[in-house]
Amino acid sequence: MWRILFLLLMLVAAVPAQAQMANLTKAKYVAVLKVVASHKMKDEDIVGDLERLNESERFKKDLNKIINKLDNSKPNDANNRKVMRILEQAGKEIYNEFK
């Protein structure tokens, strides 16, 4: 009887731990993407283009429209889930390529 109770308790404890580990893995991939993107934005090949984009009112307006569609307080929104999947996948590919 105690063995069954112990196994059930272990099973219940394992589920949140697995979910927590999955969240850490997703966060790791997004963090990798952020750091690599920040580093590559200093690449000599695109610095001039990035400066021109930063001065472009049209680009700023488009960027604001995109950001306004993504509400971090609603992570289960379809747009947010799609963006997170894209970011996680890109981060995962970079991580796996260079680890």
Q: What is d(CA 31, CA 91) in angstroms, rounded to the nearest whole number? A: 8
**Mean pLDDT, all residues of the chain:** 85
- 14 is written with which tokens? 């394992």
The C-alpha angle 79, 81, 86, rounded to 5 degrees, equals 95
Task: Read off the pLDDT of residues 39-86 as tens digits, 9 standing for 90 and up.
Answer: 999 999 999 999 999 999 999 999 999 998 888 888 788 888 999 999
pLDDT score at 99? 86
Q: What is d(CA 82, CA 65) in angstroms, rounded to the nearest whole number? A: 17
Identify the DSSP state of 56.
-
Residue 98 has pLDDT above 70, yes or no: yes
The C-alpha angle 18, 23, 26, rounded to 5 degrees, equals 125
Model confidence pTM above 0.75:
no
